[in-house]
Amino acid sequence: MPQCGDGSAHTGLVNAQLNSTMRLISGTLRPTPLPWLPVLANIKLPALQRKDATDRLVAKASAHESWSLHHDISNPPQLRLPSRKPMWRELEPVDINSQWRESWKSASVVNAHLMDDPTIRQPGFALPQQQWFLLNHFCTGQGHCSACRKKWKLIDSDQCSCGLID
């Protein structure tokens, strides 16, 4: 996942909360691979959202010469601390939808081929909640089947109640 505009030490905490919220929206389980969460919740990647907000702020500040931020953007100060990531390090605006598509294509997650374009609302989003959640469990390969429950060490056998192996 791109790390555009992730200069704050608190970004990880915000991302964890966003991931939790996207799990609630999509009804997915905790072991669901992270790249699936924004796709199923129909929420843009947090890092790309931050980059987009930064791009809009830079464009606005560039248009207003009276703002003090305008001088910093047009004549960025020299970097003093390598640990800091000021917004003027990456002033080139990006198309967040194309970045998201590239990120999705490069992610190696189970059943990624089921989603052609992660930027659009996925079919089934308007289904009743239980059906949407079940569909998402199948898409992500994470559900309450015997195989997953055995992988999570909740049961000893991956055999289904009908006698077949999941």
Per-residue pLDDT reduced to its tens digit, 19-77: 999 999 888 888 888 899 999 898 888 888 888 988 998 889 889 999 888 888 888 87
Residue 127 is which amino acid? L
pLDDT, tens digit, for every residue of 131-151? 888 888 878 877 666 666 676
Q: Is 32 exposed, middle or buried (0-12, 13-18, 19+ CB in 10 A)?
A: buried
- 91: tokens are 């002033």
Q: Return the CA Rg of the chain.
A: 21
What is the model's pTM? Answer: 0.67
CA distance 58 to 80: 21
Q: Domain ranges in the chain?
A: 11-151
